[in-house]
Amino acid sequence: MNIPGLGQATPAATFSAPTIQAAIAVHDLQANSEWRFEVAYGQSIEVKILSGSAEIFGTELAINHTYTFRGTKSSIFTWHGCRIEVSGACEEYMAEETPMVTYVNTHFALEKLRDDASQTGGEGPRVLIVGPNNAGKTSLVKLLTSYAIRMGRQPMVINADSRESLLSIPGSVTATPFASILDVEQGWGSSPTSGPSPVPVKLPLCYYYGLPSPEDNIKLYKPILTRLALAAANRLADDPVIKATGMIIDTPGIISQGKGGYDLISHIVSEFAVNTILVLGSERLHSEMMRRFSTYRTSLGQTITLVKLDKSGGCVDRDETFLQQMQEAAIKEYFFGDPPKRTLSPHTQQVGFDDITVYKIQECMFPPPKHDLKAPNSMPASAINTSFLPGGEEESEQLGLYEKIEPSSMMLHCLLAVMYASTRDSHETIRDASVMGFVYVAEVDEKRKRLKILAPLNTKITDRPMVWGSWPETTSTFQTPLKNMSALYRTICFDAVYNS
């Protein structure tokens, strides 16, 4: 996986009570029905299509091929009926009513726009998907991406949600051109950091935000999205196939749930020149989008088409425990691979405190932070009221985007993003730089002033600035001794170049 570098009305469902599967079960799915399943982390199931045809989020499954699923909430849909064999324990049920017909109609409407763009040499649709948390936005992005690929297209997929990873570690936002099928077992597939893969790898462009919510630091989030939009637009201009296919943009649910979030949606629409907005599962949000964008014209002079889609009945809430497990799994896969398919062995480096340059992201500029009243000195510098700054200085000038820090034990078990920038560059240059890769702080020796870090390869990183964010959260996932990790592959590309 990971970046190249160091990687409304709910449709009615007919289902039995969730059950724990026996050893092997065979299910007959009727036409236009869906088998929905949930597999906990630490468990796995094997699924085989015995006959008929079926797909997962638009990617067709091969007959008599065994697929293994771990730690996921997913579904298998069939247009014409099929028989599947399931081995292992999972929660599952059958759904006979799904919104798949409306989703596919949306795909064909986008295809018509792409055909027009191909004939005229113009740009394909730039699609923004918005909706509340757990409305199925990412699943819809996967489905539209998969169908576009099956039509011979190459969509550019934008992930603006830092809580989840798309071919990267959580905390980052990415832009990825997709030219090959999605790996249904891994979700999106893999990138060069994962070693050999049966499915062609993807090459995402990654920028680091390092906070879980856009509202934690809007002054940092907006410029990063602007830089991401510029890079994605340049990529479209360089490739006529991607240009005619267009973009599909995934968003965090939090921005669809309040006025401040609506302003962020307007920012995304403006920066990415969005001309199609799909509103998923919210009548109120659709009404607000109509009010804001019914007469709006993009920078390319286009009007915006708004489409309201129903939320799938298969969407389930993901609690904080599940999200944390998903985050830890993504980080672990970045450094150690995905056993038993492929195992990676990270390189251990010892670096001195004086040899590295680390910046801490300023948090909670907006809204004001909740600080401990018992510890008045715990309020971060970013919470200072700018009206009291000397001489009327702007907050960004006085406080900066980042705070340069001395390494300490507080960094233990944290991730640092290594940036494509120089240690002498300004905060704005570092912010606008793409991510080279990530390192993990395994040990901190304050007496000797040295750090032990894990990196994908034995490559010099001391001449690059490293950014420390609060997301992903501190984790002790990798306390397993390195001597117990198999060293089968060292094929991670630390200095990969973003290309086709």
Is 200 part of a structural domain of the chain? no
Q: Is 134 annotated as a binding residue?
A: yes
Inside any domain, residue 171: no
Last residue of a domain, one of 89, 104, 131: 89
Q: Is 360 annotated as a binding residue?
A: no
- Does residue 456 contact residue 494 with C-beta atoms inside 8 Å? yes
Say if CB 444 and CB 408 are below 8 A apart. Answer: yes
pLDDT in tens, 140-171: 999 999 999 999 999 999 999 999 888 888 99
pLDDT per position as a tens digit, 329-354? 888 888 888 766 777 888 899 999 99
Do 132 and 256 meet the contact criterion of CB atoms below 8 Å apart?
Answer: yes
Q: Is residue 489 part of a domain?
A: no
For the beta sheet containing 276-280, the strands, ordered from the edge strand earlier in sequence to the opposite edge, are 205-208, 172-177, 156-159, 247-250, 126-130, 276-280, 305-309
**139 in a labelled binding site:** yes
Asked if the structure places residue 107 within a domain, the reply is no
Is the model's pLDDT at 187 over the cut of 60? Answer: yes
Given pLDDT bands bounded at 50, 70 and 90, which one contains residue 478?
Answer: low
> 136 a known binding residue?
yes
Decide if 413 is inside a domain. Answer: yes
The β-bridge partners of 176 are 157
Is residue 215 scored above 80 in pLDDT? yes
On the question of pLDDT at 15 being above 60, the answer is no
Phi and psi based region of residue 210 (left: phi greater than 0; alpha: psi -120 to 50; beta: remaining): left
End residue of a domain, out of 42, 63, 89: 89
Contact predicate 210/173, CB 8 Å: no
The answer to whether the annotation marks 484 as part of a ligand binding site is no
Last-in-domain residue among 89, 118, 139: 89
pLDDT tens, residue by residue, 64-119: 999 999 889 999 999 999 999 999 989 999 998 899 999 999 999 999 999 999 99
Mean pLDDT of the 302-321 span: 88
Q: How far apart are CA 166 and CA 35, in angstroms?
A: 25
342: three-class secondary structure by DSSP: strand
∠ Cα 147 151 155 (to 5°):
65
Structure tokens at 7: 């990687």
Beta strands in 218-283 (DSSP E): 247-250, 276-280
| 295 domain-assigned | no
410, pLDDT greater than 70? yes
How many Cα atoms are found within 13 Å in the side-chain-facing hemisphere of 470?
Answer: 11
Structural domain includes residue 40: yes
Overall number of domains in the chain: 2
The verdict on whether residue 433 carries a ligand-binding annotation is: no
Q: Write out the DSSP string of 56-85.
A: ETTEEPPBT-EEEEEEEEEEEEESS-EEEE
Confidence class for position 486, pLDDT limits 50, 70, 90 = very low
* CATH code: domain of residue 421: 2.40.30.330
Residue 204 has pLDDT above 60, yes or no: yes
CATH code for position 29: 2.60.120.1030
Residue 29 domain boundaries? 24-89
Residues found in the chain: 500
- Reading the block at residue 464, the tokens are 């690059």
Select the more confidently predicted residue: 493 or 214. 214
Note the pTM of the prediction, 2 decimals: 0.83
